[in-house]
């Protein structure tokens, strides 16, 4: 197949100026490469921090919030209001009423993936004279593991052992170290209401948060209910995971309308994490856009220079019957070819950078740098790269189309 | 000559320049050029003959009056339409050869025809070789345009002007910087084109010997035509 004449001219221009073509393309390569790399960094890091977050927190938590005292007898006279001076928090119990029904209703919802009951118990871990206070989560361990992936944080033991051992406990590595306790040792716990129990350590976990490692433990739901002197229907929290964690705020709003209990999404519970996430996105976005802009200026400059050098050629083309549209076409094609080459190598550069960085050891529970190949970022990068070069080439091409051949010939 | 067909006609063309001061470059220029005529426009420097040629070429549209080419009114047409008219009906030869330096001579000749798109690439290539042969530079066809001598470049430019078989060929000082031998070749070619191929040639020139060998001389002075058929 023969190229059409505009493409032929564009290609000849590029091939007779290989060096400049390459420099312009290189600008795009660096711009796109760094852009994709930066965005991948942000996305990778955000995913990592979300993962870390979701190891301790569910997407949604339903619990009974503290309530202020309400008037016992509502005011019947519409002109008056009943005022309680110095109201107090009136919670008798923070138990959810009929949790089985709530959970059964929740799991029927379309977006819901897992629903797990939880009882939080404040307690002391004792070994000899040393004592640490902390919080035990009474859970159905298999559901909790599905939700938090506790198994991935285990240093020793196995979460499934808790199912077979009714008085088993999984403790944080900080507790184990401080109380000098090893796997299969016994540990003495005392709840806030004074119940004492001897538990068998079935697992030791290590999260990315040392404070959690020093306070948290998991026990079976029944044990936690016993620790609080409560019946087997006693549940303080219902934890919900949904398909798309980003949709948690909408889901919680929907849920809040049909329940008297407090529904809290993870974004609301972790405002600081969310704000630092946003800061990161803006910061890296700004830096990579700046780099792209510089690349665009490179393209703009080189096309502009080409046009300045080719004033004669443009005049001849116009004299021999090429219209303004043809001239725009020629220079747009030149930019697109440069942009395409640049973008292509930019994708390779980004892939290379990501490959190198993902091999950097950072320690912690993640071990390697949290960055990965994201097809959507690469596609977005390629599209942005082509658009930016198109814009950078279009402006000078438009000027070239306006060149008056007579002015050139008169000189 | 019996019934002569008018190929190009102007009605009261006037042209102003505004830089540095307002200046009337052309005043009430009306004339006709006939088919297969070889016309030379002569006159002193600054008399407006090049300015007139650029208006005739359809490239300059900022003038008063009317221009007709082959019966079609050119004045007031859109730029893209004018480009298409130039492509098909008008061939240009400039004083400074103005070839595209990165392309071979052959490609330079081919480009206007490729733009017109009337024939296939192979046919256009064949026609271009023929035009180059006509001008005696077929052996230079594949050399880059920038490697040729001035006379050779000018002949390539003429070949390019001929490629779409335009009705009119316009030249601005085509022999301006050629030696007498090359001038002779160009002159012979033009005579051949008008006699054998019936093409109209309008050329601006300072060279009185060259003008003397044309069919008709139009003399200009101070932006006006003072003689429609000056005998030299």
For residue B232, being part of any structural domain is answered with: no
Beta strands A112-127 and A367-368: pairing type? unpaired
List of chain B residues whose C-beta atoms are within 8 Å of the C-beta of residue A8 = 114
pLDDT at B1 over 50: no
Close Cβ partners of B141 (under 8 Å, ≥ 6 residues apart): B104, B105, B106, B128, B129, B132
Q: How far apart are CA B52 and CA B141, in angstroms?
A: 33
Q: Chains A and B: how many Cβ contacts under 8 Å? A: 68
Beta partners for residue A220, in sequence order? A139
Q: What is the pLDDT of residues A19-71, one digit of tens each?
A: 888 888 888 888 889 888 988 888 888 888 888 788 778 888 998 888 777 77
> Taking every pair of C-alpha atoms in chain A, what is the biggest distance, in angstroms?
104
Distance from CA of A386 to the nearest CA of B (A): 27
Contact indicator for A324, A400 with CB cutoff of 8 Å:
no
- Predicted local distance difference test score (pLDDT) of residue A226: 92
Q: What is the pLDDT of residue A225?
A: 92
Structure tokens at B159: 């070949």
In a domain, B1, yes or no: no
pLDDT digits (tens), chain A, 411 positions: 466 888 888 888 888 888 888 888 888 888 889 888 988 888 888 888 888 788 778 888 998 888 777 777 777 777 887 777 888 877 667 788 888 888 888 888 888 888 889 998 999 999 888 889 999 999 999 888 888 888 888 888 888 888 898 999 999 999 999 999 989 999 999 998 889 999 999 999 988 778 888 999 999 999 999 999 988 888 989 998 888 888 888 888 888 888 888 889 888 888 888 888 889 889 888 888 888 888 788 778 888 888 888 888 888 888 888 888 889 988 899 888 988 999 999 999 999 999 998 888 877 666 788 888 888 889 988 998 888 888 888 988 898 888 888 888 776
Query: Is there a domain that residue B52 lies in?
Result: yes
Q: pLDDT at position B97, please? A: 61
Q: Which CATH number is B203's domain given?
A: 3.40.50.300
pLDDT at position B3 over 70: no
Q: What is the dihedral of CA A212, A135, A117, A57, to 10 degrees?
A: -20
Count of structural domains, chain B: 1
B2 pLDDT exceeds 70? no
Q: Do B102 and A315 touch (CB under 8 A)?
A: no
pTM tops 0.80 = no
Task: Say what the pLDDT of residue A119 is.
Answer: 92
Q: Give me the pLDDT at residue A1, please.
A: 46
pLDDT digits (tens, 9 = 90+) for B40-90: 888 888 888 888 888 888 888 888 888 888 888 888 888 888 888 888 888
Let me know if residue B203 belongs to a domain: yes
Instruction: Give CA–CA dist B92/A313, Å, rounded.
Output: 14
Strand pairing report for A361-363 and A367-368 = antiparallel
Of B60, B111, B172, the CB nearest to A320: B111
Residues 6+ apart with CB under 8 A from B227: B217, B218, B219
Residue A402 touches chain B, beta carbons under 8 Å: no
- Six-digit token string for A376: 């959507």
Q: Which residues, listed in sequence order, are joined to residue A361 by a DSSP beta bridge?
A: A368
Q: Which domain holds residue B120?
A: 6-227
Q: For the sheet with B216-221, list strands across it.
A: B90-93, B168-172, B200-204, B38-43, B216-221, B224-227
Which of B45, B59, B120 has the most A C-beta neighbours within 10 Å, making it the best mutation to test the interface with A?
Answer: B59
Task: Tell if the CB–CB gap between B59 and A319 is shorter than 8 Å.
Answer: yes
The secondary structure of A48-73, three-state, reads HHHHHHHCCCCCEEEECCCCECCCCC
Cα B72 to Cα A76, B6, B66, B75, B163: the distances in Å are: 95, 11, 11, 9, 22
Mutate to test the interface with A, among B49, B82, B102 (most CBs of A within 10 A): B102
Contact assessment for residue A209 and residue A130, using Cβ atoms and an 8 Å cutoff:
no
Tell me the residues of chain A between 359 and 378 that have a Cβ less than 8 Å away from chain B: none
A321 vs B50: CB contact, 8 Å cut-off?
Answer: no
Q: How far is A295 from chain B (nearest CA, A)?
A: 27
pLDDT for A366: 67
Residue with tokens 């490609």: B107
The Cα–Cα gap between A376 and A333 comes to: 26
- Identify all chain A residues contacting B160, using CB atoms and an 8 Å cutoff: 320
Closest alpha carbon within chain B to A313: B100
Q: Nearest chain A Cα to B46, which residue?
A: A410
Q: Which residues contact A53 (CB under 8 A, 6 or more apart)?
A: A266, A270, A273
Is residue B179 included in any domain, yes or no? yes
């Amino acid at each position: 197949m023969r190229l059409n004449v505009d493409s032929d001219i564009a290609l000849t221009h590029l091939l007779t100026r290989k060096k400049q073509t390459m420099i312009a393309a290189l600008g795009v390569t660096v711009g796109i490469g760094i852009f994709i790399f930066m965005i991948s960094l942000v996305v990778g890091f955000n995913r990592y921090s979300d993962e870390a977050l979701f190891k301790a927190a569910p997407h949604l938590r339903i619990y009974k919030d503290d309530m202020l005292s309400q008037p016992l007898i509502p005011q019947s006279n519409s002109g008056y209001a009943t005022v309680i001076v110095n109201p107090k928090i009136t919670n008798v119990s923070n138990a959810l009423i009929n949790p089985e029904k709530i959970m059964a209703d929740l799991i029927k919802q379309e977006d819901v993936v897992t629903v797990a009951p939880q009882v939080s118990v404040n307690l002391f871990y004792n070994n000899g004279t040393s004592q640490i206070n902390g919080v035990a989560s009474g859970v159905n361990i298999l559901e909790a593991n599905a939700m938090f992936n506790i198994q991935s944080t285990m240093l020793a033991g196995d979460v499934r052992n808790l199912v077979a051992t009714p008085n088993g406990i999984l403790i944080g590595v900080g507790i184990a170290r401080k109380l000098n306790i090893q796997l299969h040792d016994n540990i003495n716990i005392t709840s806030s209401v004074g119940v004492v129990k001897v538990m068998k350590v079935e697992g030791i976990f290590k999260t990315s948060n040392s404070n959690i490692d020093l306070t948290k433990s998991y026990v079976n739901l029944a044990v936690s209910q016993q620790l609080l002197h409560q019946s087997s229907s006693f549940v303080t929290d219902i934890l919900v995971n949904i398909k798309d964690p980003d949709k948690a705020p909408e889901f919680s709003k929907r849920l809040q309308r049909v329940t008297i209990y407090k529904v809290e999404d993870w974004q609301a519970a972790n405002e600081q994490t969310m704000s630092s996430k946003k800061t990161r996105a803006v910061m890296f976005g700004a830096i990579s856009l700046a780099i792209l802009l510089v690349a665009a200026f490179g393209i703009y400059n080189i096309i502009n220079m080409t046009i300045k050098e080719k004033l004669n050629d443009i005049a001849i083309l116009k004299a021999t019957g090429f219209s303004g549209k043809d001239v725009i076409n020629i220079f747009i094609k030149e930019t697109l070819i440069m942009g395409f080459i640049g973008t292509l190598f930019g994708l390779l550069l980004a892939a290379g950078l990501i490959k190198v960085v993902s091999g950097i050891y950072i320690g912690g529970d993640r071990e390697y740098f949290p960055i990965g190949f994201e097809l959507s970022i690469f596609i977005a990068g390629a599209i942005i790269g082509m658009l930016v070069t198109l814009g950078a080439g279009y402006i000078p091409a438009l000027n070239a189309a306006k060149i008056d051949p007579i002015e050139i010939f008169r000189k | 000559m019996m019934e002569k067909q008018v190929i190009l006609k102007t009605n009261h063309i006037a042209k102003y320049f505004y830089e540095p001061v307002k200046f009337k470059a052309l005043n009430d220029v009306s004339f006709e050029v006939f088919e297969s005529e070889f016309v030379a426009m002569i006159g002193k420097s600054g008399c407006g003959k090049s300015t007139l040629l650029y208006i005739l070429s359809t490239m300059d549209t900022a003038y008063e009056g009317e221009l007709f080419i082959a019966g079609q009114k050119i004045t007031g047409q859109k730029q893209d339409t004018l480009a298409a008219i130039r492509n098909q009906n008008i061939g240009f030869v400039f004083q400074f050869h103005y070839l595209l330096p990165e392309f071979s001579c052959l490609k330079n000749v081919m480009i206007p025809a490729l733009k017109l798109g009337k024939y296939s690439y192979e046919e256009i290539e064949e026609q271009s070789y023929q035009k180059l042969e006509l001008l005696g530079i077929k052996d230079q066809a594949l050399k880059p345009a920038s490697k040729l001598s001035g006379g050779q470049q000018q002949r390539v430019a003429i070949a390019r002007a001929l490629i779409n078989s335009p009705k009119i060929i316009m030249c601005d000082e085509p022999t301006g910087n050629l030696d007498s031998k090359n001038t002779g070749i160009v002159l012979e070619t033009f005579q051949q084109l008008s006699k054998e191929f019936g093409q109209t040639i309008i050329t601006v020139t300072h060279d009185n010997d060259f003008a003397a060998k044309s069919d008709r001389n139009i003399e200009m002075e101070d932006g006006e035509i003072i003689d429609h058929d000056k005998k030299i």
